[in-house]
Structure 1
Amino acid sequence: MGKNNNSTFVIQLSIVVILGVLLLYNLSIPKVAAPQAQTSASSGQGSSAIMQAIIPTGVPAVYGAELGISFDDVSVNSPSKADATIRKLGGFDDGIQLSAADKTRYINILYNMENGISCEYCCGARAVIFETGEAACGCAHSYAMRGLTKYLLTKHGAEYSDAQILEEVGKWKVLFFPGILASKAQVLQNQGIELNYINLASNKFRGIEQGQSTGGSMVGGC
């Protein structure tokens, strides 16, 4: 009789141990999953904060009101208004002839300073112009960047330095490529590089974002 009781006790104890192990295993599952969910949420919040930090808004000072344009006009949510604004800026590329002095500044801004500025997500040109000042890329974004530069040089050249014009052009480039430049901004920030429109949009750190996942599509056609 004693042997049977001992056997029963051993069996019951084994069952309790097995149930305890299963319970502990089940309890451990949410503890593993929770940090992943927090990381995902944190990553999403970080991307949103970066996007808000780099997207220019409102009417540009000096030239915005006189041209009837706003940074808010170029958005993936309003493609027709975005295209119209890009065309308006692009029209100045063919419509404005530069003096010799202005052309020197033009080449410095778009080709020399910080290695120039390009439309690298549309075409592979070294910059939106050649070293002679001639157009190097035929996409709508490049027309807009060249057009704005010509407009500011001829209408407000005394009010803007070359660096300030490059910065202004960079703001519009961010609007043209918000997703990939948000990824680039994150890389710059992670590497301790100052986050400004020249560092972000010029060729100074071109390609630094390669290999990063990007969100959002370009605004306006190539």
Structure 2
Amino acid sequence: MEEKTTTTILVSLLVLSALLIAFNQYQVSALTGMVDSASGGVSKGRISFGGGGTASLDKADTSQITSTAMAIKTLFPELSQITDENDAIAIMIPTGTPEYSEALGGITFDDPVVSMEYLSKWYYSLKEEVKQQHPDVWQRYLGLAARPTGISCEYCCGVGPQGITSDGELRCGCAHNPAAQAIALGLMLNTDYSDAEVLREVMRWKTIFFPKNMVALAMDVAGKDASQLQSLPGMVGGC
């Protein structure tokens, strides 16, 4: 009897895992379809960075950012030109392979679930490496991420726009939060991106993780009505 019960539990867990995988793939497929429609069919493998180079961040001041909305307004000035949700989607949700992919473990916008899983696991060893071997990078990271700049899992766990404490400890351990931290820390360590460029990339990944919330916020920032935004999934990847 006990053996039969154990077998039943294992089968149930396998079925649940399969359903979760299928659901995540459905979310990714739906999101990709929305982005392709909004952008006129962006080709796979396209190098993507910083809104396709459409906006300069030379004058962006991240020291004044105190919320995710302010980060979006500061880092995506092209939103002032949008007319509808399709324009917002095309700006906020990237596709293809970012130029820093290899430096950050081969992550790709086209497979956000696998990329998030890798980043969330990599964060812990990356954090220790930077703290011990690159203290200047660690202090720079704290200066950006240990403030309410939006580097967080804001829309799944309720921690708000700040994902780490003042000394660099995670305020939430769900997969989205360490993944976002790994993007910021990895870009600071492995690229010459400015703080504004780093934060913009985090915002773009955060939009992939939480499409509906972030696109709606972008539309609000642009002064557009986001109340009818129903087509995007609320979250990609599990906590």
Q: Normalising to structure 1: TM-score of the pair?
A: 0.59
For the residues of structure 2 that align with 1:186 and 1:116, how far apart are their CA atoms?
17
For the residues of structure 1 that align with 2:149 and 2:214, how far apart are their CA atoms?
18
The alignment yields a C-alpha RMSD, in angstroms, of: 2.4
Deviations 1:158-189 (A, max 9, x none): x1122211111111001001112111111111
Pick one of 149, 156, 159 that aligns with 1:122: 156
For the residues of structure 1 that align with 2:182 and 2:84, how far apart are their CA atoms?
34
Pick one of 149, 152, 160 that aligns with 2:193: 160
Partner of 1:46: 84
For the residues of structure 2 that align with 1:100 and 1:120, how far apart are their CA atoms?
27
Deviations 1:180-205 (A, max 9, x none): 211111111117xxxxxxxxxxxxxx
Percent identity, aligned pairs only, is 34
For the residues of structure 1 that align with 2:188 and 2:84, how far apart are their CA atoms?
37
Partner of 1:64: 101
Partner of 2:234: 217
Q: 1:214: how far off?
A: 4.7
Q: Normalising to structure 2: TM-score of the pair?
A: 0.56
Pick one of 181, 184, 187 that aligns with 2:214: 181
RCO greater where, 1 or 2, for CA within 8 Å and sep 6 or more? Answer: 2
For the residues of structure 1 that align with 2:163 and 2:228, how far apart are their CA atoms?
25
- Mapping of 1:25-174 within 5 angstroms? 46-61=84-99, 63-66=100-103, 67-74=105-112, 82=113, 84-96=114-126, 97=128, 98=130, 99-112=134-147, 115-126=149-160, 127-156=162-191, 159-174=192-207
Q: 1:101: how far off?
A: 1.3
Deviations 1:97-152 (A, max 9, x none): 2232121111112123x645322211222411011111111111101011122222
C-alpha distance 48-86 of structure 1, shift in aligned 2 (>3 A): same
For the residues of structure 2 that align with 1:93 and 1:102, how far apart are their CA atoms?
14
For the residues of structure 1 that align with 2:218 and 2:172, how far apart are their CA atoms?
24
Structure 1 stretches of 4+ with a deviation exceeding 3 A read 211-214
C-alpha distance 56-135 of structure 1, shift in aligned 2 (>3 A): same
User: Which blocks of at least 5 consecutive residues in structure 2 are unaligned?
Assistant: 1-82
For the residues of structure 2 that align with 1:136 and 1:50, how far apart are their CA atoms?
29
C-alpha distance 149-115 of structure 1, shift in aligned 2 (>3 A): closer
Q: Is the 8 A contact 1:92 1:148 kept in 2?
A: no
For the residues of structure 2 that align with 1:177 and 1:133, how far apart are their CA atoms?
23
User: Which blocks of at least 5 consecutive residues in structure 1 are unaligned?
Assistant: 1-44, 75-81, 192-208
For the residues of structure 1 that align with 2:152 and 2:221, how far apart are their CA atoms?
18
Looking at secondary structure, tell me which structure has more helix per residue: 1
Q: Is the 8 A contact 1:176 1:219 kept in 2?
A: yes
Task: Give secondary structure in 1 for the equivalent of 2:139.
Answer: helix
